């Protein structure tokens, strides 16, 4: 199990930074981030222990965690998107996605197998919500520097990760019996995780700086 993969250290780093900056996250759309990231780190460690030490199948663990992950990101967008129709779309996804995952796990792919079909669907919706967010930014430019806006970094991380991850999920069923192909795409996925959580860390630091500047 040790040494841990580098992406877990990035996830742990994002959790630590979110915990250290939580006072600045309270009262914002990001207030649940420390709890969400703690959950992600715990899932990664349990999943790794299950596969490497116990040598049991761990797909079901990620079936649960990825579902919660998609719902949480959609929740963020439902709070940060300005257009009512876009907010409604995010809320619709939150309500319908768990049902689709349940149907897939129990009727199509099976609970113990990784739910690549509904993960691909979730990735497509995350890309869509990110595009809607950046579309709103183009229509209504924010005052000040965009690089100092926390949600810009969160949206950027989510977009890069899920756009890249979508290609892996669409090809998962073709590559699951191809060790070389699966290893290659898994490597890409792990590098995308580094980008995602680096963007989260930048967002938390930006939020802390924003709160400090408003308090002076």
Q: What is the pLDDT of residues 11-52, one digit of tens each?
A: 999 999 999 999 999 989 999 999 999 999 999 999 999 998
- Rounded Cα distance between 158 and 41, Å, is 17
Tens digits of per-residue pLDDT, 113-146?
Answer: 989 899 999 999 999 999 999 999 988 876 668 8
| Beta-carbon contacts of residue 199 (< 8 Å; ≥ 6 apart) | 153, 154, 156, 157, 158, 160
How sure is the predictor about 181, in pLDDT bands with cuts at 50, 70 and 90? low
The rounded Cα 202 to chain-centroid distance in angstroms is: 15
Q: Provide the pLDDT for residue 162.
A: 94
C-beta separation of 160 from 110 below 8 A:
no
- Rounded Cα distance between 167 and 145, Å, is 32
Q: Provide the pLDDT for residue 189.
A: 80
Instruction: Give domain limits for the chain.
Output: 58-211
For the entire predicted model, the pTM comes to 0.93
- Rounded Cα distance between 50 and 58, Å, is 6
Is residue 1 predicted with pLDDT exceeding 70? no
Q: Provide the pLDDT for residue 216.
A: 58
Q: Tell me: cis bond preceding 3? Omega within 30 of 0 counts.
A: yes
Sign, Cα dihedral of 101, 106, 111, 116: negative
- Rounded Cα distance between 41 and 12, Å, is 6
How sure is the predictor about 188, in pLDDT bands with cuts at 50, 70 and 90? confident
C-beta separation of 173 from 120 below 8 A:
no
C-beta separation of 33 from 25 below 8 A:
yes
Q: Provide the pLDDT for residue 99.
A: 97
- Rounded Cα distance between 103 and 161, Å, is 26
Mean per-residue pLDDT for 184-203? Answer: 89
Is residue 182 predicted with pLDDT exceeding 90? no
Q: What is the SS3 assignment for 57-109?
A: CCHHHHHHHHHHHHHHHHHHHHHHCCCHHHHHHHHHHHHHHHHHHHHHHHHCC
C-beta separation of 210 from 24 below 8 A:
yes
Q: Provide the pLDDT for residue 215.
A: 66
Q: Provide the pLDDT for residue 172.
A: 61
């Amino acid at each position: 199990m040790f040494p841990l993969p580098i992406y877990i250290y990035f996830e742990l780093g994002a959790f630590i930074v979110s915990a250290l900056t939580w006072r600045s996250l309270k009262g914002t759309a990001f207030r649940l981030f420390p709890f969400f990231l703690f959950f992600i780190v715990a899932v990664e460690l349990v999943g790794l222990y299950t596969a490497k030490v116990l040598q049991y199948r761990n797909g079901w663990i990620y079936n649960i965690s990825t579902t919660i992950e998609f719902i949480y990101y959609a929740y963020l967008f439902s709070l940060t998107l300005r257009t009512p129709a876009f907010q409604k779309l995010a809320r619709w996804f939150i309500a319908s996605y768990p049902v689709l995952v349940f149907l897939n796990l129990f009727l199509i792919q099976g609970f113990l197998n990784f739910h690549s079909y509904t993960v691909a669907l979730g990735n497509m919706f995350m890309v869509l919500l990110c595009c809607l967010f950046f579309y709103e930014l183009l229509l209504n430019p924010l005052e000040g520097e965009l690089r100092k806006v926390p949600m810009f970094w969160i949206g950027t991380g989510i977009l890069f990760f899920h756009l890249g991850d979508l290609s892996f999920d669409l090809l998962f069923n073709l590559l699951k019996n191809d060790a070389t192909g699966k290893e290659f795409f898994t490597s890409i996925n792990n590098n995308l995780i580094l980008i995602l959580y680096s963007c989260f860390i930048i967002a938390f630091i930006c939020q802390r700086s924003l709160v400090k500047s408003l308090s002076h």
